[in-house]
Amino acid sequence: MFRRNSQFAIRLIFAYGRCIIEVTMRNSEVIWQEMLSVLEVEIPALGFDVWLRPLCPVETSDGEKLVLRAPTEAHKGEVVMRYMPLMKEVMRNIDGAPTVISVIAAEEQAEEEIIEVKPEKRPVAEKSTINPKYNFENFVVGGCNKLAHAAAIAVSESPGSVYNPLFIYGGVGLGKTHIMHAIGNAVRMSMSNLKVLYVSSDTFISEFIESIRTAKGANQSFRDKYRGVDLLMIDDVQFISKKPSTQEEIFNTFEALRNAGKQMVFASDRPPQDIPDLDSRVRSRFASSLVVDIQPPDLETRIAILQKKSQDAKVNIGVNELEFIAEHVHSNIREMEGVLTKVIFLSKLSTHKVDLSICRQALNDYRVQACDEITADEIIDCTCRYFNVNKSDVIGKKKNKEIVEPRQIAIYLINELMTLPLTSIGEFFGGREHTTVMHARDKISSAVVSDQKTRTAVNDIKAMVLRK
């Protein structure tokens, strides 16, 4: 009897009357990446990025269990409460996956490691934060991202010398994280002596808060970690908005690294000047070198991305099927790749080659809700999460730019996605006149055509609202 575990996937193949045993290495990292590919389709992009992407698999001697590490105890609690049933269901459908999944907080693992190594005084090996899955070789370049790609290549070849800092911005799921990991992998490959650190802003914020909360001297340990690297990359820096203490720490870290000639790369869903409630010193540092954007890919680039992904998966998929997927998922590369993963999964499950019927079945998970299931509150809530602003401000009387733009976009989307009179829409925003609602609707309608930033924001928020 062979035991099913996280290290080996065992398949029995019958050929010429003989039973052949095929054993394939399946470590926790590979299994978790496969799970993420499916979870990306099932979970809204914001929740996926905030709660699941920061999780890291922990290798254990128990092959029957997949252990994931969360940055903090609070993060662990949210993951378990929100997503654990779905994670268990997805894991059951992965070949060679273990039978049990659990989540631990970073401090729990640290305590276990200290106890384990103390008798022999062995140091704990530092786990790389760079995902080897993402590199420049599997990054598809098109008109939407060629400037960001060229800048990233230059930084990876000469870190600290050009484009320091490099600031990359763009909508959700367009490849910012891929490029950052690609930079890290290229630097580690060509300059293995350099220390490379990639973190999400959520991790940075959590560790900073924890360093303040814990015993005296821990704060210095936190600073040593972030200021002792040669390449620091922080993702989703828009989330440091309205966090003055974190911004102060980012500023001081920036100054220390720049004075030491070390490279920094930041990514955000918007350019520095559009991040609300950001300290002027931090804003100026973000924009002090090169700021580049990544746009949503055109149809040809989307098809090329799908072709590359299907080749990497060693699955033969026809151009008609790839074009069908690309035509139906156009604003988010990550979701498009997730749909492709679902297509491949369904094909293997049914033992049929990929055809349009399988593509349609996979896209059922991406279908939008009927318009009568959408509420104005959902649209306003999604808009507030996207712009990281308070709902009370958006529906209230404030007129500063950071609030007016989200308010006008929310009005535009309510008008587009729901069949409500203008006066009723105005009631959701503190009883505003129908002429004010008309002005907001028409302004955003024009901006969607003429301004790429607005068009990206509207498409991203619409995707958040319309996903099942």
Kindly give the pairing relationship between strand 166-170 and strand 196-200.
Answer: unpaired
- The answer to whether the 146-294 and 374-466 domains have the same CATH topology is no
* pLDDT computed for residue 39 by the predictor: 86
Q: Structurally, what CATH architecture does the domain formed by 374-466 represent?
A: Orthogonal Bundle (1.10)
pLDDT in the model for residue 368 = 43
The two tokens of residue 459 are 């498409």
Parts of the chain with a pLDDT under 70:
1-26, 46, 60-63, 107-128, 215-218, 331, 365-373, 419, 467-468
pLDDT of residue 370: 38
CB 71 within 8 Å of CB 78: no
Architecture of the structural domain at 146-294: 3-Layer(aba) Sandwich (3.40)
Question: How much is the pLDDT for 115?
Answer: 38
State residue 345's pLDDT score.
Answer: 85
Angle made by CA atoms 318, 323, 329, in degrees to the nearest 5: 130
**Domain boundary assignment for the chain:** 8-120, 146-294, 299-366, 374-466
Closest of 158, 172, 137 to residue 336, by C-alpha: 172
Q: How far is CA 422 from the centre of its chain?
A: 36
pLDDT at residue 152 in the model? 97
Q: What is the pLDDT of residue 403?
A: 94
Query: Spelled out in words, what is the top-level CATH class assigned to the domain 299-366?
Result: mainly alpha
Q: What is the 3-state secondary structure (H, E, C) of the chain?
A: CCCCCCCEEEEEEEECCEEEEEEEECCHHHHHHHHHHHHHHHCCHHHHHHHHCCCEEECCCCCCEEEEEECCHHHHHHHHHHHHHHHHHHHHCCCCCCCEEEEEEHHHHHHHHHHHHHHHCCCCCCCCCCCCCCCCCCCCCCCCCHHHHHHHHHHHHCCCCCCCCEEEEECCCCCHHHHHHHHHHHHHHHCCCCCEEEEEHHHHHHHHHHHHHCCCCHHHHHHHHHHCCCEEEEECHHHHCCCHHHHHHHHHHHHHHHHCCCEEEEEECCCHHHCCCCCHHHHHHHCCCEEEEECCCCHHHHHHHHHHHHHHCCCCCCHHHHHHHHHHCCCCHHHHHHHHHHHHHHHHHHCCCCCHHHHHHHHHHHCCCCHHHCCHHHHHHHHHHHHCCCHHHHCCCCCCHHHHHHHHHHHHHHHHHCCCCHHHHHHCCCCCCHHHHHHHHHHHHHHHHHCHHHHHHHHHHHHHHHCC
Find all residues with CB under 8 Å of 92, minimum gap 6, and list them: none
Distance CA 172, CA 170 (A): 7
Q: What is the CATH number of domain 8-120?
A: 3.30.300.180
